[in-house]
Amino acid sequence: MKLLLDENISYRALKYIDSHFPGSVHVSNIKKGRITDREIWDYAKRNDFVITTYDEDFYEWQQLRDFPPFIIWLRFGNASTRYIAGKLIHHKNDILKMVSDETKGVLEIY
């Protein structure tokens, strides 16, 4: 399972989560310059990524378009890169369950 980290999460988180979520990337790796939410959505869908974001917009898109892509919606305030990575690693089983169950398209992490 690969995570696609949105621009509101530091690319530095990749070094902490790589062994748990191999193949994960940051949005800055898929396009130089400004990338739209639609481009992120389409890229994640085409390439089997789980969008990981603080942004409510992806949740709202999913309500209109269904899933995949799956979404991890971080619902805690600004946090350090290590804290974010730790939360993702701590919830790895929950993320795997969401993706394999396919009855729920979003996992909110508080």
Q: Which of 6, 5, 17, 9 is nearest to 79 (CA)?
A: 9
d(CA 52, CA 27): 10
- Residue 103 pLDDT class (50, 70, 90 cuts): confident
Residue extents of the structural domains in the chain: 2-109
pLDDT tens digits, one per residue of 48-66: 999 999 999 898 888 877 7
At residue 34, the pLDDT reads 87
Kindly report, residue by residue over 15-41, the tens digit of the pLDDT.
999 999 999 999 999 988 889 999 999
Q: Which pLDDT score is estimated for 104?
A: 86
Question: 83 falls in which pLDDT band (50, 70, 90)?
Answer: very high
Q: What is the pLDDT of residues 88-98, one digit of tens each?
A: 999 999 999 99
- Confidence band of 3 (pLDDT split at 50, 70, 90): very high
Alpha carbons 91 and 34: distance in angstroms, whole number: 30
- pTM greater than 0.85 (yes/no): yes
Q: Around Cβ 31, how many Cβ atoms within 10 Å?
A: 12
- Compute the average pLDDT of residues 63-78: 89
Kindly give, in sequence order, each residue whose CB lies less than 8 Å from that of residue 6, ignoring residues fewer than 6 positions away.
27, 40, 51, 52, 53, 54, 55, 58
